[in-house]
Structure 1
């Protein structure tokens, strides 16, 4: 396992490849998940040296946090495991709404602590903004929890640049998580420069663009899940993206790696991106994700990949 890195200006040190756990107990997100397989995914990650686990209340809901808590308990404690979780979702009359109010965020942290069977959370994100709560007030509530020792760092996820600026009014935001990949690069226009300027770490989700950047699809591929409605997987856009992915195969071959490893390694060369959290449904996928760390890209290769996906 590679040397640990620090997340932004926090005192959290994590492995550059972590584990996203939306498929661990995320029965509302993926069909036919098995809880014991989910536990084994987490066990395997920890055994392989990964110390950074990313979860959320809404994965399940609640079940992902519960399974992680069970694995940590069976191991006899936290040791150096860094846990990130998220809150904001609330069920009202069977419907999901977002709530960033200080009272609800405080309640969310307490609930996560119980499910994770721990007395502190390393990184707690506001998962999505709501429509009403001033963002600096929401983050201010998390700052109080940080001062009380309930959380160690504060994150926001899926915030616009204006919402991020408001949230960071007092300089309390440590980490931003948002969608970003070689195909969807809009965050380079605002969020990433702001994060760099303010010492905030950025953690991308969907880094492989729902598998499109994994190098495993051909032009005749068909999809029956949400990708069937995703414009990236349709018509000329799909063909153009596959052509770009094909240009990475030579680099991957030279490295003895898969296209996905090259893509993930490229993100780790970016300013403010300290760590990645690829997911896994099966234990063997955890080990495969770690192969990213054996890929060393030259400056010329980094620039070439950048040019391919800017075209």
Structure 2
């Protein structure tokens, strides 16, 4: 069993492989969402040893948090780490806008607690930065909620390095969740070093590039969902990326694993990248992902992957 890791400077400790739950009640993100199937996936993950569930207000909206709350009632609450996010507010006309004001977060945390039907949230993120609120003021509001015991750790998401530095002026940020994968290594240009230096946990989203880095696709695979618009799925780039992923297959055989697990294991060699949220909807897939936390890649294999996917 992989060792648990702490989220930044907080006392929240988790298994390094978490479960993203945007498919649980994510009616605004996916077609034909089966709520009961989503809840069953969450149960399978918890039963397999996953300890952290990652949700957000915008998944549904709201519905994912409500369904996670229902599943939480079936387990010992203290054994499950719940992470959620907010930043989406609505004006009088029902138009959505990004809001980082302290007043908004006090209300957003209250409402999330109600939907999750719990007394505290283990990790609460600012989901997106707005254009006007000083980031340290937004985080200070969350720090007050942390001191009240309503949340236990503070996160930010989709922040640039400059925004992260502003948010962390008082040292309150525990986690940042940004995009990072072998096709998008922008975080290596400063953020990963800053998070390592400041005891902030970096959690990547899109770690398997929406499935491309799992080694399951070929040139004939077609997409009609969110993947169709992602840069690494565009025609010529897609073929080049497939060729790179193919070169990982012999490496996967060496370790007796799938390509996805080798990619996830590589991420754990990056500074401060201690938790990963790979997409998974089936119990066996979740169990396979969890094995990645126990793979020690040989130094020459880390170097091979690094150079193969060099920026």
TM-score normalised over the length of structure 1: 0.96
Contact 1:101/1:138 (8 A) holds in 2:
yes
- Name the residue aligned to 2:304: 304
* Cα drift, residue 109 of structure 1: 0.5
- Name the residue aligned to 1:136: 136
* Cα drift, residue 74 of structure 1: 2.5
Contact 1:23/1:280 (8 A) holds in 2:
no
- Name the residue aligned to 1:285: 285
5+ unaligned residues in a row in structure 2: which ranges? none
Structure 1 residue 207 corresponds to structure 2 residue 207: yes
Misfit runs of 4+, over 6 Å: none
- Name the residue aligned to 2:85: 86
* Cα drift, residue 294 of structure 1: 4.6
- Name the residue aligned to 1:48: 48
> Aligned partners of 2:269 and 2:70: how far apart in 1?
35
Alpha-carbon deviations, 1:154-185, whole Å to 9, x = none?
11000111111111111111110000001100
- Is the partner of 1:210 in helix, strand or coil? helix
> Aligned partners of 1:27 and 1:284: how far apart in 2?
24
Contact 1:22/1:279 (8 A) holds in 2:
no
- Is the partner of 2:164 in helix, strand or coil? helix
Structure 1 residue 193 corresponds to structure 2 residue 193: yes
- Is the partner of 1:155 in helix, strand or coil? strand
- Name the residue aligned to 1:96: 96
Q: Which moved more, 1:229-238 or 1:82-91?
A: 229-238
- Is the partner of 2:243 in helix, strand or coil? helix
Alpha-carbon deviations, 1:194-230, whole Å to 9, x = none?
1111111100000011111111111232222232233
Alpha-carbon deviations, 1:123-144, whole Å to 9, x = none?
1000001111111110010010
* Cα drift, residue 37 of structure 1: 0.7
* Cα drift, residue 78 of structure 1: 0.4
Contact 2:210/2:279 (8 A) holds in 1:
no
* Cα drift, residue 82 of structure 1: 1.0
- Is the partner of 1:177 in helix, strand or coil? strand
- Name the residue aligned to 2:244: 244
> Aligned partners of 1:7 and 1:192: how far apart in 2?
15
Let me know the Cα RMSD of the aligned residues. Answer: 1.4
> Aligned partners of 2:294 and 2:199: how far apart in 1?
27
Alpha-carbon deviations, 1:246-302, whole Å to 9, x = none?
110011111121111111111112110111112223344322322323533111111
Contact 2:18/2:276 (8 A) holds in 1:
yes
> Aligned partners of 2:117 and 2:235: how far apart in 1?
47
- Name the residue aligned to 2:152: 152
Q: Which moved more, 1:225-234 or 1:108-117?
A: 225-234
- Name the residue aligned to 1:122: 122
> Aligned partners of 1:148 and 1:69: how far apart in 2?
21
Contact 2:268/2:293 (8 A) holds in 1:
no
Structure 2 matches for 1:169-188, cutoff 5 A?
169-188=169-188
- Name the residue aligned to 2:272: 272
Structure 1 residue 163 corresponds to structure 2 residue 128: no
| Aligned residues between the structures | 310
> Aligned partners of 1:58 and 1:226: how far apart in 2?
16
> Aligned partners of 2:139 and 2:57: how far apart in 1?
18
Structure 1 residue 68 corresponds to structure 2 residue 68: yes
- Name the residue aligned to 2:254: 254
> Aligned partners of 2:272 and 2:293: how far apart in 1?
18
